Structure 1
Amino acid sequence: MRTTLLGAQTSLQSSPTQFVEMLRHGSMSVEWYAPEVVDLQQPHEQDELYVVVRGTGMFRNGNTTHPFGPGDVLFVPAGVEHRFFDFTADFGTWVIFYGTKGSEIQ
């Protein structure tokens, strides 16, 4: 399996949402996410990783808030409230969902 940033950006242009799924295998799914102005996400049922490709801004993960930029990897456990905010117009990130619903066993 393989996907590319260009393929993801092209697919997103024809999507009615701010994200598009690009790969899936078992419990793992990879999406390209590029919100416009406001991040409207709700907590997810699976653990997730964000791999920021472009843009900068702030990220709230539960009770913690910190800046983010290209090259950052952000982990969010299943069910935790999280949000990107004050992000630049060019912001885009890979999102990788994985594991069982309710989070991985530690």
Structure 2
Amino acid sequence: MDCNGWDAQVAQEYVDTLAEMEESTNRVFPLRVPGTFEFNSALATGTAKALAGQLSPQEALDEVAAEWTAILERVGADNVRDAYAVGVAMEDNEL
């Protein structure tokens, strides 16, 4: 341990991973869209139900999909798409 409490090899692997993430084109950005809290809540609820055995994984996914469809209908798919595009541009430092 000589890198502020980190093993030198682990610290280097961590730094290398961060550098690789920066170069990756396979990124998922946080949802910065209308309805984001509802989308996340529906996903968390579905995950919890599947993990608790209240629903099968497929049933939970189907329930989440139905919730997301309702949220999209309420806030507007075009609004979500446009807001996500702005978020991607911000992440890519294009704005």
Q: TM-score range by the shorter chain?
A: under 0.3
Point out the structure with max Rg over C-alpha.
2
Q: TM-score, normalised by structure 2?
A: 0.22
Structure with more of its chain in strand, by fraction: 1
Q: TM-score, normalised by structure 1?
A: 0.21
Structure with more of its chain in helix, by fraction: 2
